[in-house]
Structure 1
Amino acid sequence: MTLKEEFATRNFSIYGQWLGILSMIVCFAVGLSNIITFDLLIIPFSIICFISSFVILFIEVPLLLRICPTSSSFDAAIRKVTTNYMRAATYGVMALVQWLSIIRNATSLIAAAVLLTFTGVCYGLAGLKGQAFVGSKTLGGAGVAQMIV
C-alpha cells in the first residue's frame, strides 16, 4: 500500500501517525531552540518538549523498539500505548504540558502544543469512530518489524 493509498483509507489513526511524526520533528526543533533561552521558567518546558520528541519517535515507529538498545521498562511503557485512546491521551498530556508553557510568555513551544493537540484529536476521532489502529507500512507498521527478527 502506497502512502497515497494509506491516506485514502480515511482512517484517522493514519493521519494521527503522520501528524505524530511531524510533531516529533517540531518538538525536537523548538525544544532544542528554547533550551538556550534565558527564561528559567521556559527551560523545563523546553527540556520536556525535547524529550517528548524521542518518546514520540518510539511510539510512532515501532521498528525502533526492536533495533535500538532500550531498557525493558521503557519498552513496556511504550508498548502500553497501542490503542487509539491511549495514543490520544498520551498526546493530550504532552500537549497540555506545552500549552502550560505559555503561562509565562508565548514562545515557539506553541507550535509543538498545536501539533500535539491535532495529533491527539486525530487519534481521539479514530477511537470515537471505532476505527482500528492501522500503522503505516512506511513507518514500520503492518508486520515490517516482524520481518527483521
Structure 2
Amino acid sequence: MTLKEEFQTRNFSIYGQWLGILSMILCFATGLSNIFTLFSKYALLIIFCAFALASSLIILFIEVPLLLRICPTSAKFDELIRKVSSNYIRAATYGTMAIVQFLSTIIVSSSLIAAAVFLLLTAICYGLAGLKGQAFIGSKTLGGAGIAQMIV
C-alpha cells in the first residue's frame, strides 16, 4: 500500500499517525529553539522546553514501532510504549502532551504553541478514529503492518 492509498482509506488513525510525526518534529524544533533564545529571561520556560523535547522522543517510539526493535531501550520503557496502542489511549497521550504545552503560554507566548496545536490535532484525529470505531492501522511507511517482522 502506497502513502497515497493509505490516506485514501479515510482512517483517522493514519492521519493521526502522520500528524504525530509532524508533532514530533515541531516539539523537537520548538523545544530546542526556545531553550536557547529565552534562556536568561524566562527560566521557567525551560521546563516546558524539556517536556517538548521529551515528548518528541516519546512520540518517535510511539509512532515508529520499528525503533523498539532496533534501539536498545529498557524493558519497562518498551512495555510503557506498547501500552499506547489503541486510538483512545493515543488520543489521551497526545491530549496530555498538548495540555502541557498549552500551559507554557501562562509564562510567555512562544513558539511552543505550534507544537501544542499539532499535538491537539493529533489527539483529535485519534479520538475521531476511536469514536468512529476504526481500528488502529499503522502506516507501512513508518514501520507498521509487517515491516518490523522482516527485521530479524
| TM-score, normalised relative to structure 2 | 0.97
State the alpha-carbon separation in 1 of the partners of residues 117 and 85 from structure 2: 22
Q: What amino acid sits opposite 1:145 in the alignment?
A: A
Aligned to 2:72: 69
State the alpha-carbon separation in 1 of the partners of residues 94 and 24 from structure 2: 11
After superposition, the CA RMSD in angstroms is 0.5
Deviation, structure 1 residue 147: 1.1
Deviation, structure 1 residue 104: 1.3
Aligned to 1:32: 32
Aligned to 1:3: 3
Runs (5+) with no aligned partner, structure 1: none
Runs (5+) with no aligned partner, structure 2: none
2:99 paired residue among 83, 96, 101: 96
Deviation digits for residues 84-125 of structure 1 (CA, Å, limit 9, x no counterpart): 001000000000000000011100000000000000000000
State the alpha-carbon separation in 1 of the partners of residues 86 and 31 from structure 2: 27
Aligned to 1:144: 147
State the alpha-carbon separation in 2 of the partners of residues 84 and 57 from structure 1: 16
Deviation digits for residues 13-57 of structure 1 (CA, Å, limit 9, x no counterpart): 000000000000000000001112221111100011011101000
Q: How many residues align?
A: 149
State the alpha-carbon separation in 2 of the partners of residues 40 and 76 from structure 1: 34
State the alpha-carbon separation in 2 of the partners of residues 147 and 124 from structure 1: 30
Equivalent residues in 2 for 1:6-17 (5 A)? 6-17=6-17
State the alpha-carbon separation in 2 of the partners of residues 35 and 124 from structure 1: 31
State the alpha-carbon separation in 2 of the partners of residues 104 and 114 from structure 1: 17
SS of residue matched to 2:115: helix
Q: Which runs of 4+ in 1 moved over 6 A?
A: none
State the alpha-carbon separation in 2 of the partners of residues 109 and 125 from structure 1: 24
State the alpha-carbon separation in 2 of the partners of residues 87 and 147 from structure 1: 25
Q: Percent identity?
A: 73
